[in-house]
Structure 1
Amino acid sequence: MHDEVQVASPCIRHCCLDGDDVCVGCYRTLSEILDWSYCNSKERQQILARCKQRKIKGNRNTNCGGKQ
């Protein structure tokens, strides 16, 4: 029997897309957010790794209500 580990969404309910369509809260792209529920655990872990890299880069191109 194959038990897949559940990978929790990184959403922190601070949703606002920057100029590159990356969420300023969780660092997922719009397509990653839309695809999340269809991804398996391995794909979700890959998304989280990309989010971590985006967060480290820290370059934000946003004007979400004047807040960053």
Structure 2
Amino acid sequence: MQSPCVANCGLNDQDYCMGCGRHIDEIVSWSQVDDSRKQAIIDALPARKKAFSGQQNTQTQGPAKWHEAKVRLGLE
């Protein structure tokens, strides 16, 4: 299943990407989860994006954030 990434990464205060609507943990674990979980994430995106309307990117999705999520998820 294709990633919903839109290559416009920037995280809000809750670590959700303002481009695709996924949480950093969902982004990092995308290649590890099965298609049913991916579909559940994709299904949640329209409501998330609506809820984020008007919010700003407050942080970048850089290497430190990526590493932090991988450690939290036990992927590193």
Shift of 1:64: 5.5
Question: Which residue of the partner structure matches residue 14 of structure 1?
Answer: 8
Which amino acid in the other structure matches residue 17 of structure 2?
A: C
Which amino acid in the other structure matches residue 28 of structure 1?
A: R
Shift of 1:47: 0.7
Question: Which residue of the partner structure matches residue 57 of structure 2?
Answer: 62
Structure 2, unmatched stretches of 5+, are: 61-76
TM-score by length of 1: 0.74
Which runs of structure 2 are paired with 1:17-28 in the superposition (5 Å)?
Answer: 17-28=11-22
Structure 1, unmatched stretches of 5+, are: 1-6
TM-score by length of 2: 0.67
Larger helix proportion of the pair: 2
Q: Which has the higher contact order (CA 8 A, sep 6+)?
A: 2
Question: Which residue of the partner structure matches residue 35 of structure 1?
Answer: 29
Q: How much identity, in percent, do the aligned residues show?
A: 31
Q: 2-side partners of 1:61 and 1:30: how far apart?
A: 16
Q: Is the 8 A contact 1:20 1:61 kept in 2?
A: no
CA RMSD of aligned residues (A): 1.9
